[in-house]
Amino acid sequence: MNTCLAIIRIAIYVGIFGLFIAIGACGHILFFLSPSRLLQWIAYFSQWWARITCWVFNIHIQVEGDRPPLTGAMVVANHVGSPDIFILGACFKGFFVSKVEIADWPLFNWLVRLGKTIFADRNKRHQVKSLIHAIAKRLHGGHNVILFPEAQATDGSDVVPFKSAIFEAAVLANRPVVPVSIHYHDGNQPTLAFYGDSFLSHIMTLLKTPRLQATVTIFPEIPASLGRQALADKSCRVVRDAVKAQNSQLA
């Protein structure tokens, strides 16, 4: 039964994937001479891609806290697995910062490149400066940037310290940081949303899962005037406290 569900979802998603590839390509053609309008087009349809993906995977999202129409905010969250991307993309209109390896994945590389994803190469320390300026440019242009400052996926039981360097982008653009926590209610320890050892196995597990419930908690924005280290520490503390509290309720 679960295998049939996975096959049906794959078939549906192939069509959705092709549709959004076409939408992305059209945007690049229509707004070739207007980069600002192109970014607006991509941000709008990226949110719809995320929402439709949540529908395909039957991911139900409960949002706690305020969800204001953010413009030019750095949204930072704990990272557990691939559903985080769909969930945050459904909640916030904006652009993701992703590891550069995704740009080489078959098929997905088209989607992330057409979606103007900002790539981070963790193997090149000198690339951090250009990454910070790329994020700051998006923020300064009034676009939200969504990222996972842990720079790794965890099993959902805790949150590791946020990397502070990336917060310099918020300082440069003088834009606020919005901490967000993601918590899954599947009763598994670790949650099945966790990447685990094999990405393929992880995706197949999600495809076979009838329903996934997640709570997204949005916390008040933190002003950039605090400086990058304080931004990293304070946002991490807020998210970590929320994750620990949610986990303790299940213990």
Residue 75: what pLDDT?
Answer: 96
Residue 181 confidence (pLDDT): 96
pLDDT for 13 beyond 90: no
**Residue 80 in tokens:** 């557990």
Q: Write the pLDDT tens digit of every residue in 102-146.
A: 656 655 666 777 788 888 876 666 788 899 999 999 999 999 999
Higher pLDDT, 108 or 54: 54
Residue 88 has a pLDDT of 95
CB 24 within 8 A of CB 45: yes
Phi/psi for 190 (5° steps) reads -75, 165
Beta strands in 84-190 (DSSP E): 94-99, 118-120, 144-147, 177-184
Which of 117-131, 190-204, 234-248 ranks highest by mean pLDDT? 234-248
d(CA 28, CA 245): 44
Which strands, in side-by-side order, build the sheet including 144-147? 59-64, 212-218, 177-184, 74-77, 144-147, 94-99, 118-120
Q: How far is CA 16 from CA 8, 10, 106, 132, 220, in A?
A: 13, 10, 16, 32, 34
**pLDDT band at 34; cut points 50, 70, 90:** confident
Q: How many residues does the chain have?
A: 251
Whether 213 has a pLDDT exceeding 90, the answer reads yes
Contact 66, 176 (CB under 8 A): no
pLDDT higher than 90, residue 89? yes
Say if CB 81 and CB 202 are below 8 A apart.
yes
Q: How many CB atoms lie within 10 A of CB 186?
A: 15
> Which among 108, 97, 162 has a CA at the least distance from the CA of 134?
97
pLDDT of residue 124: 67
User: Of the segments 29-38, 70-79, 118-127, which one has the largest average pLDDT value?
Assistant: 70-79
199-208 helix and 2-30 helix, angle to the nearest 10 degrees:
110
Overall number of domains in the chain:
1
Percent of the chain with pLDDT over 90: 55
DSSP E strand stretches across the chain: 59-64, 74-77, 94-99, 118-120, 144-147, 177-184, 212-218
ω into residue 161 within 30 of 0, thus cis?
A: no
Q: Which range has the worst mean pLDDT, 93-97, 111-115, 127-131, 217-221?
A: 111-115
For residue 149, the enclosing domain spans 2-250
